[in-house]
Amino acid sequence: MNIVPFTFNSNKKIIFRAGSVENLADEAGFYGKNIILFTGGSSLEKSGKLAEITKSLEENGFSITKFSVNSEPSPELVDSIVKQLKDLKIDSITAIGGGSVIDTGKAVSAMLCEEGSVCNLLEGIGDRTPTGRKIPFIAVPTTAGTGSEATSNAVLSRVGDAGFKKSLRHFNYTPDVAIIDSKLYSSCPPAVAASSGMDALSQLVEAYISSNASFYSDIRVIGAIEVLLEALPIVAATKDEQEYCGEACANAWNKMAYAAFISGTALANCGLSVVHGIAGSVGGFFNSPHGAICGTLLAEGMKQTIIKLENENPESASLLKFAKLGYIAARSEDLLPKEARYRFIQVLEGLTESLDIPRLSAFGITESDLPRIAAASSNKNNPISLSLEEITSILRERL
Ligand SMILES: [Fe+2]
C-alpha cells in the first residue's frame, strides 16, 4: 500500500472525556474573562446542565454575554449579532449546543474581525475571501451529528425559492478548543439523536469514499463507523429504554460523541460527496432538518454510486472500500466483496427504517420539485460522477 500525500487541519486542543465541560473555565480563562456564550434550545436548559455551567463560569469571575440560537443560522442572524457585539471587549466565544449553535458562534467569532455583511464572504455568493482572523473560539457540542466542533466552516442558510445553504470557511475557523463531554449529549431527544447520528454516519461514509480521502483519514473514519453502528440504535431508543440502559447507554453516547467528532475532522479534510451535495440543495429550498435529509438519502445515494462504479469502473478502489464497510456492518468477513457491498446498503436501509427517518415528502417535497433540487445538487468528491437523471432517481426513490 502506498501512503498518498495529505494535509490535515485540526483543532489546537481536543478534550474528550465524560464530564470535561468542567474544564471550560480553565480553557476560556486562558484567553480572558470577557466571554460570549452561545447556547441552543431547551433540552440542555431543562436538564439543568446549562445553569450549572453558567454558574461555574460566574463563580470563576467571568463576565458573560449570552445568546440563544433556536434554528439554523442565517446571514441576517449573524450580521445582527455582530452588530450588537462590535464595540464590546471580547476575549473569547464559547458555543455549547448542536451544529446550528456552534456554526453561529463560529461565524460570529470570524465576522467580529471582518467588515461588512457575512454574505460578502460566503462561498459561491460573496466577492471576498475571509482573512481567517477571528476571536478565540471554543466549541462544546451537545448533539452527536454535524461534527462542527472539528470543522473549518460555518453553514449559513436562507430558505425559500432563492434559498441557499453556503459556508463561511477558512482553515483557521476550526474551533481552537473542542470540549467533547458525552454526559452533555444524553439530554438529546431520541428523534434528534437518530437524525444527527445519520448525519454523522453520512459524513463518515462520504469522507471515506471521497476522492480526497487519505490513509490518515481512513484509519480514523473506519474506527468511527464501527463504533457509530454499534451505538446509534442504543442512543436513539426511547428515553425510558435509555433509563434502563445505564452504563451501556453512557458508553454508547461516548461512542457517538467520538464518531461525530471524527466525522467533522473527516468532512473538513476530505470533503463530502453526493448525499451532502443533494442535502445542501434540499436545505436551501425547504425548511427541513439537515440530519434527516442526509439520513433519508444515504442508502440510496450509496447504492446508486456502487451500481455505477460496478458498471463503469469495476476495478475502482472505491468498490473495495464499500466492501470493507460491508464487512464492518455485517461484523463478518465471510462474504464475497459484492455481497459485502450490498450488505452495507441493507444495513443502512435497516437503520433508516428502524430509526423512523422521514421520507422527503414529509417536508413538503413533491415530484415537481425534483428537477430544481437535482439541478442545484453537486456530487463533487463522489468516487464516480452521477448524472442529473441519477440524482433525480435517488430523490424519487426517497419521496
Ligand atoms: Fe452534515
| pLDDT tens, position by position, 46-86 | 888 889 999 999 999 999 999 999 888 999 999 999 999 99
Q: What is the pLDDT of residue 44?
A: 79
Q: How far is the CA of 176 from the centre of ligand 1 (A)?
A: 21
Q: How far is the CA of 147 from the centre of ligand 1 (A)?
A: 8
Domain containing 204 equals: 190-397
From 41-45, 260-264, 329-333, the region with the lowest mean pLDDT: 41-45
Q: How confident is the model at residue 41 (pLDDT cuts 50, 70, 90)?
A: confident
If asked whether residues 121 and 237 sit together in one domain, one would say: no
If asked whether residues 53 and 153 sit together in one domain, one would say: yes
Q: How far is the CA of 268 from the centre of ligand 1 (A)?
A: 11
Q: What is the pLDDT of residue 47?
A: 80
Q: What is the pLDDT of residue 159?
A: 80
| pLDDT tens, position by position, 332-389 | 999 999 999 999 999 999 999 999 999 999 999 999 999 999 999 988 899 999 999 9
If asked whether residues 194 and 179 sit together in one domain, one would say: no
Residue 378's domain is classified under what CATH number?
Answer: 1.20.1090.10
| Alpha-carbon gap, residue 208 to 218, rounded angstroms | 6
Return the C-alpha cell found at 263: 466525522
* Domain endpoint, select from 138, 164, 187: 187
**Furthest C-alpha separation in the chain:** 64
Which residue type sits at 4? V
Beta bridge partners of 66: 37
Residue 104's domain is classified under what CATH number?
Answer: 3.40.50.1970
Q: How far is the CA of 247 from the centre of ligand 1 (A)?
A: 28
Q: How far is the CA of 197 from the centre of ligand 1 (A)?
A: 10
If asked whether residues 60 and 132 sit together in one domain, one would say: yes
Please state the domain count of the chain. Answer: 2
User: Measuring CA to CA, which residue among 58, 73, 49, 1 is closest to residue 28?
Assistant: 58
Beta bridge partners of 188: none
More confident residue, 374 or 41: 374
User: Measuring CA to CA, which residue among 153, 286, 276 is closest to residue 206?
Assistant: 276
If asked whether residues 65 and 141 sit together in one domain, one would say: yes
In a domain, 1, yes or no: no
In a domain, 182, yes or no: yes
Q: How far is the CA of 276 from the centre of ligand 1 (A)?
A: 6
Q: How confident is the model at residue 242 (pLDDT cuts 50, 70, 90)?
A: low
| Alpha-carbon gap, residue 213 to 207, rounded angstroms | 6
Q: How far is the CA of 294 from the centre of ligand 1 (A)?
A: 7
DSSP 198: H
Q: How far is the CA of 200 from the centre of ligand 1 (A)?
A: 6
Please return the burial class of 10, using the count of CB atoms within 10 Å of its CB with bins 0-12, 13-18 and 19+: middle
Q: How confident is the model at residue 310 (pLDDT cuts 50, 70, 90)?
A: very high
DSSP 279: H
Q: What is the pLDDT of residue 244?
A: 65
Q: What is the pLDDT of residue 306?
A: 98
In a domain, 2, yes or no: no
Task: With a cut of 90, say whether residue 241 has pLDDT above it.
Answer: no
pTM above threshold 0.75: yes
Q: What is the pLDDT of residue 243?
A: 66
Task: With a cut of 70, say whether residue 8 has pLDDT above it.
Answer: yes
Q: How far is the CA of 290 from the centre of ligand 1 (A)?
A: 7
| pLDDT tens, position by position, 114-162 | 999 999 999 999 999 999 999 999 999 999 999 999 999 999 998 877 7
Q: Which long-range contacts (CB under 8 A, 24 or more apart) does 120-128 make?
A: 121/168, 122/75, 122/156, 122/166, 122/167, 122/168, 123/166, 123/167, 123/168, 123/169, 124/164, 124/166, 125/164, 125/166
